[in-house]
Amino acid sequence: MKNQAINNTTEINYDAVNGQFGQYGGMFVPPVLEGKLLNLYEVFEKNRNDSSFQEEFAYYLKHFVGRPSPLYYAHRLSKHIGSKIYLKREDLNHTGSHKINNTIGQILLAKRMGATEIVAETGAGQHGVATATAAALFGMKCKVFMGAEDVERQKMNVSRIKLLGAELVVTHAGRGTLKDAVDAALGYYIEHPDVYYLLGSQVGPHPYPTMVGYFQSIIGKEAKKQFIEREGRLPDNLLACIGGGSNAIGLFDNFLKDHEVAIHAAEGGGLGPILGETAATLNLGKPGVFQGTNSYALTDDEGNVYPTRSIAAGLDYPGVSPQHALLKDTKRAEYHLITDDEAIEGFKLLSHLEGIIPAIESSHAIALAMKILKNKPEQISIINLSGRGDKDVERDLM
């Protein structure tokens, strides 16, 4: 059915066949990729409704990734902020973040399509590690593109990618961040359409936003069940960090019909609301076509992309998920600018209070909780702790 929505997605104007979230989404790619992506959509639709695929996906999530991830009551953080807070512990997944959920799902599709080479982009390195891990698991050749700036600030993950047997390709274009890695990976994909491009966030051309959202929806499915078992009701608030948007939609999607649950996301604000010094796409961007999809992007009136800046490599991106663009326009979710300094404060706070070192990306969500949940003892919230901070401890964040 043309307008059949993906599981638990509530937008009545979601066109599954064309990947449209309202006016956003779609497929804006060179003709050489159109057939490839349409075939990928067909393979995805066939397999996500196939019981053997679902069983294999569930097997690897349980026995390889380590799901379900815990829902942890952060008692000392709650006391400090003055509001009851649970953490969805995606940082405890194998490889240390939510990214492995999506890479396992897509690598299973790639295997069914007969792919032998996997290509991916990475910013913070977590998707690169997760892709290299999945490729090693299934014996596939893997090439990971990464910006030169991110290679410097995420050295531990660079080493992990190489140790797992993947080839790391460094791009020096632009500021050497996630946008430039995506450009390089897409360029390679256009030149080598026989490879499988394993996109890591809920961005890019159709069907990637639909697929990534689907594979990450396990986060919210688990969180809702766990929360109701603990509290006997739904949470008042959901919080997550957002760059492209995969960890955020992973938590949010299963609650979109529950309008009593408020949804908040923290963007990488960099130095503040200054174009060229921030990555707060939904706060400061405008709609337009960028890297294969129609969504918000940080562009000028001529469509030129502004440079971005964020202390978090995984949030340092001038585009965003088309589904989040629609959630912003319909006011189903609120998107907040969190500066580098605020994120560092959240990084230190969770480490000191709970003995949990968060990724600097996830620290933006902690900082947001400090701002909007202060002295609200009657409210109970879930923060998606999307990744652990091993990769950030050697950086000068203290």
In whole angstroms, give the CA distance from residue 87 to residue 112: 35
Q: Do residues 101 and 219 touch, judged by C-beta distance below 8 A?
A: yes
If we measure between CA atoms, which residue out of 73, 62, 71 comes closest to residue 100?
Answer: 62
- Helix, coil or strand: residue 60: helix
What CATH class does 67-96+217-392 carry? alpha beta
- Kindly list the distances between the CA atom of residue 210 and the CA atoms of 20, 25, 192, 213, 344, in Å, as whole numbers in the listed order: 9, 10, 23, 5, 32
3 state SS of 273: coil
Residue 22 CA to residue 271 CA, distance in Å, equals 32
Starting at the earlier edge strand, list the strands of the sheet with 196-197: 167-171, 141-147, 117-122, 196-197
Query: Which fold does the domain 23-61+99-213 belong to in CATH?
Result: Rossmann fold (3.40.50)
Query: 241 has which bridge partners?
Result: 266
How much is the pLDDT for 16?
Answer: 80
Domain limits, CATH 3.40.50.1100, in the chain: 23-61+99-213, 67-96+217-392
User: Which pLDDT belongs to residue 398?
Assistant: 62
Select from 288, 314, 333, 241 the least CA-distant residue to 25.
288
157/151 Cα distance (integer angstroms)? 8
- Give yes or no: 386 in active site: yes
Catalytic residue among 84, 88, 99, 391: 99
- pLDDT over 70, % of the chain: 97
Give the pLDDT score at 169: 97
- What residue type is assigned to position 12 of the chain? I
Pairing type for strands 20-21 and 24-25 reads antiparallel
**Does residue 394 carry a catalytic annotation?**
no
Please give the DSSP secondary-structure letter assigned to residue 202.
S
Q: What is the pLDDT of residue 5?
A: 35
Q: How many CB atoms lie within 10 A of CB 307?
A: 16
Question: What would the DSSP string read from start to end of 130-195?
Answer: HHHHHHHHTT-EEEEEEEHHHHHHTHHHHHHHHHTTPEEEEE-STTSSHHHHHHHHHHHHHH-TTS
Given the residues 90, 121, 222, 354, the one annotated as active site: 121
The pLDDT value given to residue 297: 98
pLDDT at 24: 98
For 232-265, the pLDDT digits (tens) are 999 999 999 999 999 999 999 999 999 999 999 9
Q: Which two tokens stand for residue 3?
A: 């307008």
Cis bond upstream, residue 207 (ω within 30):
yes
Name the residue among 398, 328, 337, 347 with its Cα closest to residue 372: 337
- 3-state DSSP call for residue 247? helix
Q: Which residues of the chain have pLDDT under 50?
A: 1-12
Rounded to 5 degrees, what are φ and ψ at 240? -155, 160
pLDDT attached to residue 395: 86
For residues 77 and 354, the answer to whether their CB atoms sit within 8 Å is yes
Cβ 294 vs Cβ 26: under 8 Å: yes
pLDDT attached to residue 394:
86
pLDDT the model gives residue 13: 72
| Known catalytic membership, residue 121 | yes
68 preceded by a cis bond (ω within 30 of 0): yes
Looking at residue 39, its amino acid is N
